[in-house]
Structure 1
Amino acid sequence: MTSISILWFRRDLRLADNAALYHALKSGNPVLPLFIFDQNILDKLPKDDARVTFIYQTIVDLKKELQQQGSDLLVKYGKPEKIWPEILKEYEVKEVYTNHDYEPYARERDDNMAEFLTSEKIAFKTYKDQVIFEKNEILKADKTPYTVFTPFYKQWHAKLNDFYIKAYPTKKYFKNLFQTKHLPGPTLKDMGFEKSKLDFPKISYKNKLDNYAKERDFPAIDGTTHIGLHLRFGTLSIRKAVSDAIEAKSNVWLSELAWREFYMTILWHFPYSASDSFKKQYDKIKWRNNEEEFKAWCEGNTGYPIVDAGMRQLNQTGWMHNRVRMVVGSFLTKHLLIDWRWGETYFAEKLLDYEMASNVGGWQWAAGSGNDAAPYFRVFNPELQTKKFDPKFEYIKKWVPEFGTKKYAQPIVEHTFARERVLKVFKEALN
């Protein structure tokens, strides 16, 4: 039996510029790529979850690319802890290569895998791939992590150079892929999923970068890059995105890419913040958590047009404009006094580009409970946000066609009353 290395794909679904794949291909053993549809994750998802369709389609494309090289992608469905022992019976595995993942479940899974593979005398080698800087690479002078974005970004930006954004030349070493006949894999149906009807954004953002700073806040304009999904699953390399931002001199977009890394660093250093408030005293807030009001928010029937437009855009497309994400987040936590975790969970279910670190970070920012957060007494006024960012109601009319007619919902709560109520409740909890 031939000794092989395995490249375990997870959130890095591409052959070009992939750190772990590059190191695997240079390991001296033929490399068999592997992807596991992980039941520990999939069992919690609805059967028409669009992200599963996106992953499945990407896997089909990867298999074709690898087959052109005389190799293939081994695709399994189940729990990694059960699948790995089966793979070791099938192949003579010397080393396993993969890229770092920073979310709590992934860290636990990888710790367990490292222990298991080491006990089988198999090296488990992991690499940085989905961020430019990770873990302890950006720290304050006293070696503690930054908890405020601006100083973090200053250092992130100062440290950035060609070395960190250079692409890994994987193609040069494709001859080292394990040569094999076509390998069968599970279909969506085999795994109990249906094909989603949602459209997935293409990777095409270069034409947006010149006007990104001017246009990104206006939801009626298609001025943002829509690459969240591709960064989430690694169909686009972060090194490529950052290189393109620098080349286009789009500093605003560069700082948005850095926000993502800031939140990942926070999640890494403060894993409790995935489910608890970063500022712990915010867990004393007495949320109202009215289920009917939450339902109205989810469905886009609050009587606040910009909030409703955002929620309907999310429900129908799996995406929401970033400016509007801030408005709906503030509205849920401040106007309705509903726990930010309820909103975070709803977004986790609906967003194609859901990334735990950014989503949790964004929701805690809206609630005031996160790091670098807006002070709790800042309550977004949906009307002023509309005047500023959708003055002609173009975005609103697109998603709320009954806006301006008698059919449109009455406001669920009056703004001034809601503002006074939240300030009182937060003050009581925080003083």
Structure 2
Amino acid sequence: MNTEIHCDVAVVGSGPAGLSAATALRQAGVNRVLVFEREPEAGGIPRHCAHPPYGVREYGRLMTGPRYAQRNVAAAEAAGVDIRTRHTVVALHPGGALDLATPDGMLRVVAKRVLLTTGARETPRSARLISGDRPVGVINTATLQSALYLEHFKPFEAPLIVGTELVSLSAVMSCRRAGIRPVAVVEPNPRPTARWPLTLFPRLCGIPLHLNTELAAIYGRERVEGVQLAGPDGARSTIACDGVLLTGRFTSESSLARLAPHLSVDAGSSGPVVDQYGRCSDPAYYAAGNVLRPIETAGWSWREGRAIAGCIAADLACDLPAASEVIPIHVQSPLKYCVPQRLVPSTHSGLAELQLRVVEPVRGTLMVSDGLRPLWRASGAFLPERRIRVPLGDPAFLSATALDIGFESSP
């Protein structure tokens, strides 16, 4: 059955960013706020993470992921948000119209504003170009945690873990809770990605950590039986294991935006192009959370969702400047991306800073210029997957015709 409903704001995704934004919108007086979630239960990825730390800054207490997700859902429902699970958005149309597949058939939603909070996902084996056999037992962290906490079974007993981002440490915690004993953690770079001392955690758990080491091949007929590793000197070695856990290397879950010609997607961040208000190239659409860039913490996404909700509420009240003029932001290698990718010349508060990442370690001076003069500088060591923040408080940023961000070359 085809039906059509109207609302003030439609939120696509029920993770921390989506639920916090929906709650803030209702608290700001926005009447009808609908959240659409394709899963049977709202709450996002934290539902799968049965370990702390969640909720300290948001709710003033230490929570596990499922408890945190439940708290976010409860807050949204208490505020009067209409949360609809098993509702999958299949198309985004100009001006805020959505097509959804639901248990009752197709649904058309026409919203004054749409907020995309679809999050991010880990890169699968197919995109990592890992050779070898194709046995059962090669999964990512989300699949592991879903198996352990939602389906209550162990996919393996002694896996190899690939990657040292924060999500890898979450995977180690999940394995320990389930009685799974990883045989090793491998990282292709010369140093772990997560910050010290967090990177000591695998070793404290008795799990060897191999740096400068790549997963070269996977072996096994029906299930994983072992892997081949390529060490720092190119030497190959074989380790017996019954699974491979691929962690990290996140990419934004922006497939809906990519299929919508009216929405621009940034190649560097893999998420929608936005201004400092989270507003997309189609001004009826906004984005917040990890769909903007992979990847930030649940707490960061929760706070960003609330900030963007304030911008949407101002927009609905005709109190947000139009995006008739924009200041494009250009980044130079080895910078990976900048979010937002453009600014609107206005002093109306939005996101407080530019967020950047580098693709390789850099030691030097990062500079923001207007093409003629430097506007901001910072010197230091900049590492991959570490947050780089450039404050937007300088009025000169908003009077430029364009911003260029890169590292100063050595004299």
Flag the structure with more relative contact order, 1 or 2, with Cα contacts below 8 A and sequence separation at least 6: 1
Same fold (TM over 0.5): no
Higher strand share: 2
TM-score between the two structures when normalised by the length of structure 1: 0.29
Q: Determine which structure has the larger helix proportion and give its number.
A: 1
TM-score, with length taken from structure 2: 0.30
